[in-house]
Structure 1
Amino acid sequence: MMKVHWWSCVLGLLCMPAEVILGLGTAFQSPSSISFMRVNSSAEITCSTSLKNPMGLYVYRQFHSEKNIVYLDLMEFSITKNTIYNTFTGRLHVTPAKTVTNDHHGFTFQLSLLGLEDTNLYYCEWLYTDTQFNKRQVASNGTIIIIKEGGPEEQCKNPILDLILICSSIGAFTVILLIFIIVLIMRCKRYKKKFRPAVPPPRPPRPQHICPHHHHPYLVTSVSTDINMDVNMDVR
């Protein structure tokens, strides 16, 4: 939708200089308003003029590298030769206009099998010779054609459907997140109830260090000898 509005604003502004030329009253084009068309649909543009003896008629598109669409070589408003460019071959049908007045003549161009790339400003340019036999051109006001994938009703419904889808997705995600948090909390509580601290295994008794007894045979013998000697002296 934003792209469509952007195209409408830009193309509308660029049409303003063409409307000044329209005030000359020598070239006209219809429809002059913006048209919203579906993909693969058809659109009609009618180019008319009050020139008495135009030499030819071009139909251009403003915003494209290949601007030419068709050229009609005219003689008293009869097509003696026409050139349709490759992009519109098989998609363009030209007929004499039926809606112009007696003092105007023109042609109707039917563009069929429209695609998104056909969104553009289309305008007509008439060739003629002035009183001094110089070639001149006069362009008519442009017709803006905007192609979009869906019709107006579908385009209006799409934002509502998108909003409902987004809200539903957010709601579903929130519910799933809450369920996950609740399950996680319940599992944590159950784990705390069943949790028992682990008792470390008893340590093995440490071996006692026993100091060995040292015998001194020579010392004992010596002491015993002294005692015996003392005893013997007393006896004597």
Structure 2
Amino acid sequence: MPPARDSLLIVTPHSSGQVPADVLRDMLGDAALDTPTRTAFLRRLFLDGDPYTDLIYALPGARHVNAAWSRFVVDLNRDRDDRVDNGVIKLVDFTRTPLYPDGFTLSEEAREARLRLLWDAFDRQVTAELPGAQLLVVGHCMGTHGPALGHDTGTPRPAICLMPGEDDAPTFPYEHWPALQAACEAAFADVIAASPYERVTIGEPWQSDTLSLNHFRRSGVPAFGIEVNAGLYLGDGGEPVDAAIRALNAGFARFADAALALLT
């Protein structure tokens, strides 16, 4: 018998492309009221997030917490006090294109209000779902190559990256890492074989994600992040490939059950 899925919490912090109206006005000014401009901008933010990851990682019987707002409003996978250009409140996108007009300044009061309303609320949601959980999985997607704003700019990326922490600070038991990687390779084998992307990696290009690390430290619940290559399921224009999303979702179901089994 596989472990009960209600002991699994799945979090997708970047799946939304929504922007609150007040933030959208800060970003676009009066152009926010122009439907073509607004629609194109919101589509760009959605595709620059982790599009459709709420569907890829949706698992019947599991617990889920999905972001309500775009990562470009508040990045829920960053520390609350992270003030770098790719921090919790971003002023540029991953191509380093400004998100706000020239001269825009976010006041400390507005920054704190945004964090209080959005970051704090999401943190409370995740914390509330963790009691009784045996495993936390944080689901992401990644671009096919490292972006301009990143540590691996231009580097081709693997099919899937697992992020169970650093060797000396694991968030998922270190002795199970080889089995976790093998389970992922088996679960997604058909998807990877049908694509130009290769390899399931551990720690490449990232070793850990902030949500896994912080909630593991606070709760003790084993956790890891997973990144799937967006090229596995998005067309050249960013359109979703339904058959690929279905295959990834089925692969994730197999993988999640195997990951839970490692902890029992």
TM-score bin, normalised by smaller chain: under 0.3
Greater fraction strand: 1
Q: If the length of structure 1 is used for normalisation, what is the TM-score?
A: 0.26
For the pair shown, which has the larger CA radius of gyration, 1 or 2?
A: 1
TM (normalized to structure 2)?
Answer: 0.24
